Amino acid sequence: MNSSTYTQFVASKRMGICDPIQQIGMWGDFKGSSFPDTLILEVENCLESEMPIMEKRLDNETEEPSHVTVGRSNIYEPETSKRIDKMNRRLAQNREAARKSRLRKKAYVQQLENSKLKLLQLEQELERARQQGLYVGGGLDTSQIGCSGTANSEIATFEMEYGHWVEEQDRQTDDLKSALNSQIGEIEMRILVEGCLNHYFDLFRLKATAANTDVLYLMSGTWKASAERFFLWIGGFRPSELLKVLTPHVEPLTEQQVQEVCNLTQSCQQAEDALSQGLVKLHQILAEAVAAGTLGDGIILPQMTATIEKLEALVRFVNQADHLRQETLLQMSCILSVQQSAQGLLALGDYFKRLRSLSSLWSSRTSEPA
Amino acid sequence: MDKVQRMTREHGVVIFSKSTCCLCYAVSILFQDLGVIPYVYEIDHDPQGKEVENALMRMGCNNALLPLVFIGGKLVGSTNEVMSLHLKGSLIQLIKPYMSV
């Protein structure tokens, strides 16, 4: 591919070596000749590296087109002055064209980077939508989200594992339903119940790892369905609320059980309140840390670093909240019979399923044209 | 060691804490809600704090797990243990003798 113009062959202003007039003489007769690709590339390379083009070309040139007149002899001919003007104009145009070309290239690369980010976001949304039960043509392998950095890939792993966790939970909920309808033996029921409880404990383990990676991400609840996020309390469900959800479905309760469930609910609420208040104090400490010094002075790095250390206290809170959730479930299973536990777990499983459905419905509702 | 023993014997509910630790604060709030005023010893506010920390570690307590709670002179544990006991209903029994009216 030969260029028939010499728009790319631009004289670099940074040339110190050659006398400009000499240079003109060299190039004057190149008009209309075809240029080798390497010349164009070399020129572009020179532009990138800001090397004097003329210098480079002179070094590499082994043969010269015969019609080129080198040297000063034709500079002083009278008609050359017009050609010098023309030449100057063309050189100026060339410089301008090269400059525009560089800008275009920069813009293109920037566009590519933006598209890459957008793609990443879309893939993540897709995965979330899939988790919420929206069927989105399963061909996409969203587990290979192009992540940069270990933290991102760990979070992506967490989202993927959570997706699997949800699928398994739905399966277990269905199993519970069939088991309760089919009157299976107590031992089998107990195994089922323990399996369900352990599944919840698996979630808390998953979350503990994620909390160490990015506790703010976990606290934000973006990994949960939108309706679930509305009920978010320290990175998950509020245990006392859950007790209120499942209690009506574990009939019949003995009087002692009623009392015990009541006590458990109350203790749970007290523990939640204490943790919430601890979090309020952490808010205060963080706000003070961020606002320390003179606001308006901008960002001071050591201050930011110190604040990050304070943020890490959140990890313990999330762990503590999950511990509370785990203990609540355990205690409930101690108070209830195996049959009742199965009923309670079914109620919970279905409750979460409905919340996720609600979230999908909500998404489709808000994306519908008005 | 002496100081720790003295403190835990003098007060019914003792919480070894750090003033910057919000989880320690949460635990002290819990006790207050249950009707007990715990004796909170802030390790970072006492010049002898380091010695107390060492004494606690010698007693087998992992210092990274503040708050450390003693009830009736006996070590109960950290936040996990306190929460578990409370959900079981046992914590209330333990602190009954020290509840303010």
- What does the pLDDT look like over B87-101, one tens digit per residue? 999 999 999 999 885
Instruction: Tell me whether residue A297 is in a domain.
Output: yes
B87 CB neighbours in chain A (<8 A) are 264, 267-268, 271, 324, 327-328, 331
> Per-residue pLDDT for A71 more than 70?
no
Would A23 be classed as within a structural domain? no
What was the pLDDT predicted at A18? 44
Does residue A174 lie within any of the structural domains? yes
CA A230 to chain CA centroid, nearest Å:
22
Q: Please give the residue range of the domain that contains residue A121.
A: 79-134
pLDDT recorded at residue B2: 82
User: Is the pLDDT confidence value at A155 over 60?
Assistant: yes
* Contact status, residue A292 vs residue A284, Cβ threshold 8 Å: no
A300 with A168, same domain: the answer is yes
Contacts of A47 (CB under 8 A, 6+ apart): A10, A12, A53, A98, A102
Does A348 fall in a domain? yes
Q: Is the pLDDT of residue A128 over 50?
A: yes
Mean pLDDT of A265-269: 97
Q: How far apart are CA B15 and CA B23, in angstroms?
A: 11
A134 vs A312: which has the higher pLDDT: A312
Q: Given pLDDT bands bounded at 50, 70 and 90, which one contains residue B63? A: low
Q: To the nearest whole percent, how much of chain A has pLDDT over 90?
A: 48
Q: pLDDT tier at A257 (50, 70, 90 boundaries)?
A: very high
Closest CA to A234 of A317, A313, A311: A317
Shared-domain flag, residues A319 and A183:
yes
Mean of all residue pLDDT scores within chain A: 79
**CA pair distance B15, B31, nearest whole angstrom:** 10
Q: Of A1-5, A97-101, A187-191, B5-9, which has the strongest mean pLDDT? A: A187-191
pTM, whole model, 2 decimals? Answer: 0.68
> Which of B21, B23, B83 is facing A271, going by the closest CB pair?
B83
Does the beta carbon of B65 lie under 8 angstroms from any beta carbon of chain A? Answer: no
Band (pLDDT 50/70/90 cuts) for residue A141 is very low
Of B22, B34, B87, Cβ closest to residue A328: B87
CB contact under 8 A, B29 and A285: no
Looking at the DSSP assignment, which residues form a beta bridge with residue A309? Answer: none
- Residue A89 or A78, more confident: A89
Which of A99, A119, A134 terminates a domain? The answer is A134
Query: What range does the domain containing B85 cover?
Result: 1-94
What pLDDT band is residue A118 in, cutting at 50, 70 and 90?
confident
Q: Rounded mean pLDDT of A356-365? A: 91
Measured CA to CA, the distance from residue A165 to residue A161 in angstroms comes to 6
User: Is B60 a domain residue?
Assistant: yes
The verdict on A90 and A225 lying in the same domain is: no
Residues A114 and A161 in one domain: no
Q: What is the pLDDT of residues A274-332, one digit of tens each?
A: 999 999 999 999 999 888 877 887 778 888 888 888 888 999 999 999 999 999 999 99
Number of domains in chain B: 1
Mean of the per-residue pLDDT values for chain B? 90
CB atoms B80 and A320 under 8 Å: yes
Nearest CA in chain B to A281: B22
Compute the average pLDDT of residues A255-268.
96
Quick check: is B37 in a domain? Answer: yes
CA of B2 to nearest chain A CA: how many angstroms apart? 30
Q: Which residues of A touch B27 (CB under 8 A)?
A: 274, 278
Supply the pLDDT for residue A10: 43
In a domain, B100, yes or no: no
Tell me the mean pLDDT in the region B8-27.
93
Q: Nearest-CA distance from A288 to chain B in Å? A: 13
Shared domain for A207 and A342, answered yes or no, is: yes
CATH number at residue B13: 3.40.30.10
- Interface contact B64, partner A, CB < 8 A: no
